[in-house]
Amino acid sequence: MFFLKVNKMTVNYINGAEAVIKALEENGVEVIFGYPGGAVLPLYDALFENKKIKHILVRHEQAAVHAAEGYARSTGKVGCVLVTSGPGATNAITGLTDALMDSVPIICLSGQVPTHLIGTDAFQEADTTGISRPCTKHNYLVKDATQLCEIIHKSFLIASSGRPGPVLIDLPKDIQLSKVKYVNKNTKIKKHNNDNSSNIDESLINKVATLLLQAERPIIYGGGGVVNSGPEASKLLTELVNILDCPVTLTLMGLGCVPNTNKNFLGMLGMHGTYEANLSMHNCDVMLNVGARFDDRVTGRLNAFAPNSKKVHIDVDKSSINKVVSVDYGIVGDCKKVLSALVQEVKKLHNQKTIKSKTKWWSQINKWKEKDSLGFKQIGNNIKPQQAIKSLYEKTKNFDTYITTEVGQHQMWAAQYFGFSKPNHWMTSGGLGTMGYGLPSCVGVQIAHPESLVIDISGEASFLMNMQELSTIVQYKLPVKIFILNNEWMGMVRQWQELNHGSRYSESYTASLPDFVKLAESFGITGLRVDNINNLDTTINEMINIKGPVIADIRVEKEENCFPMIPSGAAHNEMILSSDDNQKDTSNEGLALV
């Protein structure tokens, strides 16, 4: 700290790095995930004696962002990341893109070479704001120390308001070392244009409420926007479902916002959604989309998507409305606010009018349910991956359990067979589909919820992508459970090769796997292995009961496919329920799709 006499008043000057840390504190940051380096040494120096902010040292910058995402998504707070210039920043890019796609509020501070060296190809220099521009909601390069504090305060506002997303602040080293007068948060911070805090059009709410009440075959489809809007929004959505007594389905990102035990919940929809959810979407007459974005995983072939329905879309992001699906009514606003108005209106109208009988609709849905699209046969001693998830759910459902996943078959099985009764308990990479997301993400979740049971449901290939984080887990004594569905294949790649490429398994076998038990032991943690169905439950119990971190190597059926499935380029009503069902060849257009 410097003390300078200015105009007979004593002004406290601190250096830029100290101002940054102070601004983080003021914005409620308790944990920061990061990795030091030359260009952020002043920031690390400012953190050295700080008692309020806990720094978690990860082992790779990508993992820092995923950990912050896990932290943010399980708490509703803003996740905070600190990385150095050059490779530190470029390593963070995958994480930032992931956060952008899944609308997770993140602040990423990156070091930069001093301003006079910018543009000279200095050591560890990268055009970080240039590289991160398309993968952040906004970014800043701080070139003027007097603007430092305001930029940080504004970044928190941008990251957490409207549709949340990552904001990167690039901090040249000389700015971190320059003298700064600290500026508090509430002094004249301009609201930014994308806040969407405007009022909701009441006549529109009335029209939508009427439409829902008069519908014969309504369906509500909820997404990650409901989770992002806070737990209150999930309660309101459940209330709306109960009043209307209509079916509800959730996207991958929305799981948990209506409890899995709710009798109207049809399970997840989309490419690996349940038969009843997809068929209900296809045959509905009124569809209410709350906080989802008609992703291609959800809609299937667009020109056959819910062909005879009136569609209503609630989204905080105006650009999501009419992006890929034209809707009859678009309501721009925060899910909680809109749902609250809608629930009130529905209640009001409900007293005046009678709701159309849905007996026929429900009996139709129950017929679809009879297909038992998630059914599987556990024969022999080999463990079916579906059974592994089912058993895991049975054994953990009475705990406060948080699940993170990687990407692939195990992710879909987790979404299908694990039941989520609360929002913010399910962390998965939906939009970007980042293999290697789950392990670092569960670090962030466990830091935020030290007493809870945090499980990373993983595949052996995804696990290998960020397994250096085992070291972080051991350092901070995080009792996370890593539940690896090990089938020795990049399962989803193998499945697509089987279905679309004549079983030509090009490069999808995970060769040269480590011995996961010995790997665990080499980090000083417990490794378990099970390959017989008869020992599955005991192993899961053992895993839960061990106090520290555990890697459970669950050897599952190697060539099991994930069903039901909407083949690429097909519509909701063209689902296949098993391999035998795959009579039609995938269309040429379908082959081109991801």
Partner 1 sequence: MSVYQKNEVKEDETSRTLSLVVDNQPGTLARVIGLFSGRGYNIESLTVTEIDKIRSLSRISLVTRGTSMTIEQIKSQLLRIVPVHIVRDLTLEGPFIKSELALVKLVVKGANRVEALRIAETFRARTLDVTLSSFVFELTGKPSKLDAFIDLMRSLGDTEISRTGVSAISRGNKTETKLLDQI
Q: Which is nearer to partner 1, 272 or 384 (CB)?
A: 272
How far apart are alpha carbons 486 and 385 in whole angstroms?
Answer: 9
**Annotated active-site residue in 124, 147, 364, 468:** 124
Name the minimum Å distance from CB 302 to partner 1: 4
Minimal distance, residue 138 CB to partner 1, in Å: 4
Interaction between residue 593 and partner 1 (CB under 8 A): yes
- Choosing from 324, 372, 524, 579, the residue that interacts with partner 1 (CB under 8 A) is 324
Residue of 10, 261, 326, 357 that binds partner 1 (CB under 8 A): 326
Q: Is 199 in the site for partner 1 (CB under 8 A)?
A: no
Rounded to whole angstroms, what are the CA distances from 244 to 181, 192, 276, 343? 56, 37, 18, 10
The verdict on 296 binding partner 1 (CB under 8 A) reads yes
Q: Can residue 138 be called a binding residue for partner 1 (CB under 8 A)?
A: yes
Q: Which of 309, 244, 239 is nearest to 281 (CA)?
A: 309
User: For this structure, is 446 an active site residue?
Assistant: no
| CA torsion, ordered 270, 441, 16, 155, to nearest 10 deg | 20
Q: What is the dihedral of CA 554, 555, 560, 566, to 10 degrees?
A: 30
Of the candidate spans 43-51, 294-302, 417-425, 518-526, the one that interacts with partner 1 by CB under 8 A turns out to be 294-302
Sheet hosting strand 31-34, strand order edge to edge: 54-57, 31-34, 79-83, 106-112, 166-172, 138-141
Q: Measured between alpha carbons, how far is 168 from 127 in angstroms, rounded to an integer?
A: 12
Pairing assessment for the beta strands 2-6 and 9-15 based on DSSP bridges: antiparallel
Rule CB under 8 A: say whether 500 interacts with partner 1: no
Residue 235 interacting with partner 1 (CB under 8 A): no
- Which one of 101-109, 173-181, 316-324, 385-393 is the stretch in contact with partner 1 (CB under 8 A)? 316-324
Expressed in angstroms, the distance from the first to the final Cα of the chain is 55
- Strand 9-15's sheet: what is its strand order? 2-6, 9-15, 179-181
Residue 319 C-beta: closest distance to partner 1, Å: 4
CA angle, residues 421, 422, 428, in degrees to nearest 5:
100
Which stretch, 357-365, 367-375, 520-528, 586-594, contacts partner 1 (CB under 8 A)?
Answer: 586-594
Q: What is the DSSP letter of 215?
A: -
Contact flag: residue 307 with partner 1 (CB under 8 A): no
Active-site residue among 61, 276, 460, 469? 61
Give yes or no for residue 210 binding partner 1 (CB under 8 A).
Answer: no
Of 281, 287, 412, 492, the active-site residue reads: 492
Q: Which range, of 178-186, 213-221, 246-254, 298-306, touches partner 1 by CB under 8 A?
A: 298-306
> Contacting partner 1 (CB under 8 A), which of 40, 64, 141, 298?
141
Q: 124 an active-site residue?
A: yes
Among 60, 66, 77, 137, binds partner 1 (CB under 8 A): 137
Residue 255 CA to chain centroid, in angstroms?
10
Can you tell me whether residue 532 is helix, strand or coil? Answer: coil
- Cβ 107 to partner 1, closest distance in Å? 14
Q: Enumerate residues 6+ apart whose C-beta is below 8 A from 469.
A: 58, 59, 60, 63, 67, 439, 440, 443
| CB of 195 or CB of 400, closer to partner 1 | 195
Q: Does the footprint of partner 1 cover residue 299 (CB under 8 A)?
A: yes
> What is the spatial distance between Cα 577 and Cα 378, in angstroms, rounded to a whole number?
16
Dihedral angle sign, alpha carbons of residues 111, 116, 119, 125 = negative
Residue matched to tokens 């006549």 = 203
Region from 5-13, 314-322, 394-402, 488-496 binding partner 1, contact rule CB under 8 A: 314-322
Burial of 397 (0-12, 13-18, 19+ CB in 10 A): middle
Alpha helix locations (H) across 49-147?
A: 61-75, 87-101, 128-132
537, with CB counted inside 10 A (0-12, 13-18, 19+), is: middle
322 binds partner 1 (CB under 8 A): yes
Residue 173 among the catalytic residues: yes
Q: How far apart are CA 275 and CA 475, in angstroms?
A: 45
Sole binder of partner 1 in the list 139, 238, 264, 510 (CB under 8 A) = 139
The secondary structure of 537-559 as a DSSP string is HHHHHHHHHSSS-EEEEEEB-TT
- Shortest spacing between CB 163 and partner 1, in angstroms: 8
Q: Is 130 in the site for partner 1 (CB under 8 A)?
A: yes
Q: Which of 75, 115, 124, 194 binds partner 1 (CB under 8 A)?
A: 194
For the CB of residue 133, give the shortest distance to partner 1 in the complex, in Å: 6
Handedness of CA 65, 71, 76, 81 (dihedral sign): negative
Stretch that binds partner 1, among 136-144, 208-216, 467-475, 519-527 (CB under 8 A): 136-144
Per-residue x/- marks for partner 1, 145-164, CB under 8 A? -------------x----x-
What minimum distance in Å lies between the beta carbon of 137 and partner 1? 7
Question: How many residues make contact with partner 1 (CB under 8 A)?
Answer: 32
Residue 397: half-sphere exposure toward Cβ, Cα within 13 Å = 14
Q: Which stretch binds partner 1 (CB under 8 A): 80-88, 101-109, 137-145, 278-286?
A: 137-145
Q: With residue 313 as reference, give the H or E element that holds it.
A: strand 310-315
* Nearer to partner 1 among residue 62 and residue 299 (C-beta): 299
Contact call for residue 281 and partner 1 (CB under 8 A)? no
Residue 190 near partner 1 by CB under 8 A: yes
Binding partner 1 (rule: CB under 8 A), the pick from 318, 356, 395, 422 is 318
Collect all residues with Cβ–Cβ distance below 8 Å to 379 and sequence separation of at least 6.
none
Closest CA to 416 of 400, 431, 405, 432: 405
* CB-nearer residue toward partner 1: 139 or 234: 139
Residues 87-116 that bind partner 1 (CB under 8 A): none
Comparing CB distances to partner 1, the nearer of 58 and 321 is 321
Residues in contact with partner 1 by CB under 8 A are 129-130, 133-134, 137-139, 141, 158, 163, 190, 192-194, 296, 299-303, 317-319, 321-324, 326, 569, 589, 592-593
- Which residues form the catalytic set? 61, 123-124, 173, 492
